[in-house]
Amino acid sequence: MAMLILTSLPGAVVGLILAVLFEDPLKDTAARVVGRVRRPNREIAGEWATYWGVESDPTSSPTARVTTTTIMTFSLQHLRSRVTGRDVERSAAGITASLKDETFLTGTWYDHTGERYQWGSFQLWWSPNGQGMIGKFTGKDSRNHINHGIWLWARKEHDLLKLADIASERGYQFDDLEAFKEGIRTALSQTSPN
């Protein structure tokens, strides 16, 4: 019995030494392999329905204080951590952003539709199910009016109403949540045949 222990002891010691020496490289390799595996519904590329609402305050543009009734559809492309996108219908609005930890999309936006051009920055939180993003934007227009508010992105435009409720539950402050949701309903009735 003692002989068996003595003969297996060097093998165990060598195994322990090898495990300690290669622990970090093995963890790094495993992390890279697991990182390449995409979770279901977590591809940011594709089409997104977007809706925003400007928060009222004295610095907001007088025209922007009116609740929007527009849903824009953005087509996003994703290469590494960089995400770019444009409004599908007009191509006069777009974003350039970085995706951090597959959770936060942070970047800049521009909108050259209408008589004034606008630009600014934003940050969106990407929901774990991959079907919606909720966040805030800030920016200014060509007449130096500063605007800021809540921006919702959904895979399906009818999910924008659910996202407004989720945003409220997560602590996003709306001037008037029901007015915000009524704006979404109005926009949906203008864009959907249903």
Q: Which of helix, strand or coil describes residue 176?
A: coil
- Predicted pLDDT at 24: 52
Reduce the secondary structure of 11-57 to three states and give it as a string.
Answer: HHHHHHHHHHHHHHHHHHHHHHHHHHCCCCCCCCCEEEEEEEEECCC
The answer to whether residues 23 and 116 belong to one domain is no
Strands, DSSP E only, in 67-131? 72-79, 82-87, 93-100, 104-111, 118-126
**Whether residue 128 sits in one domain with residue 68:** yes
**pLDDT of 167:** 96
What's the confidence (pLDDT) of residue 35? Answer: 43
- The DSSP letter of residue 58 is T
pLDDT at 34 (0 to 100): 42
Report the CATH number that the domain containing residue 104 is assigned in CATH: 2.40.128
What's the confidence (pLDDT) of residue 147? 84
User: Is the domain of 62 the same as that of 108?
Assistant: yes
Contact status, residue 17 vs residue 47, Cβ threshold 8 Å: no
Tell me the three state secondary structure of residue 178.
Answer: helix
Cα separation of 20 and 115, whole Å? 65
Tell me, yes or no, whether 22 and 62 share the same domain: no
- Measured between alpha carbons, how far is 14 from 34 in angstroms, rounded to an integer? 28
Supply the pLDDT for residue 193. 56
Which secondary-structure segment (H or E) carries 177?
Answer: helix 177-191
Domain interval for residue 21: 1-37
How much is the pTM? Answer: 0.74
Look at residue 142 in the predicted model and tell me its pLDDT.
Answer: 79
Same domain, 115 and 184: yes
Long-range residue pairs from 124-128, CB within 8 A, at least 24 positions apart, any chain: 124/151, 124/153, 125/170, 126/44, 126/99, 126/102, 127/166
Write down the pLDDT at residue 32: 45
Per-residue pLDDT at 22: 55
Q: Is 87 helix (H, G, I), strand (E, B) or coil?
A: strand
At 33 the pLDDT is 47
Q: How many domains does the chain have?
A: 2
pLDDT of residue 64: 56
Name, in order, each residue with C-beta under 8 angstroms of 168's C-beta and a sequence gap of 6 or more. 174, 177
Q: Are residues 75 and 108 in the same domain?
A: yes
* One domain for residues 16 and 92: no
pLDDT of residue 194: 44
Assess whether 63 and 18 both reside in one domain.
no
Assess whether 67 and 95 both reside in one domain.
Answer: yes
Stretches in the chain below the pLDDT threshold 50: 16, 18, 27-28, 30-38, 40, 194
